Amino acid sequence: MEILIFIIIGLAAGTLSGMFGIGGGIVIVPALVFFMGMSQHQAQGTSLGVLMMPIVALGAYNYYKTGNLDVRASLIIASTFIIGGYFGSKISLTIDHVLLKKIFGVLMIGVAIKMIFFDK
């Protein structure tokens, strides 16, 4: 049953990633917390572990073929994402998991409000 839930989470994250450019933080982390009982730290670490594999290569290729992938921006962001991921994880691991979950939720609400009401 656990493997089936992981498969469903992966399919949902992959589909939403391909459709909207989202997946790890918005889909995988909450799904692992709510459906698999992982702590916020475990879910975040697992989500980052997923990113280590070239899982979105085919989706990115589809965007590239239609001229909707900025390769230069992607490479710059990816190279600095490595540094940010390292230091962000160090900071995260010093925060209590309950507080971290609340911070994560507030961040998602803030982004949602901005996109719904303040984007042009």
20 falls in which pLDDT band (50, 70, 90)? confident
**pTM for the predicted model, two decimal places:** 0.72
Q: Using alpha carbons, select from 49, 48, 74 the residue that is nearest to residue 59.
A: 74
Read off the pLDDT of each residue in 8-24 and give the average, rounded to a whole number.
80
Q: Using alpha carbons, select from 18, 19, 16 the residue that is nearest to residue 28.
A: 16
User: Which pLDDT score is estimated for 74?
Assistant: 87
CB atoms under 10 Å from CB of 81, counted, come to 13
User: Which pLDDT score is estimated for 12?
Assistant: 86
Task: Give the chain's mean pLDDT.
Answer: 87
Read off the pLDDT of each residue in 42-68 and give the average, rounded to a whole number.
86
Torsion of CA 98, 102, 104, 107, to 10 degrees: -170
High-pLDDT (> 70) share of the chain, %: 98
- Please tell me the distance from the alpha carbon of residue 23 to that of residue 16, in angstroms, as a whole number: 6
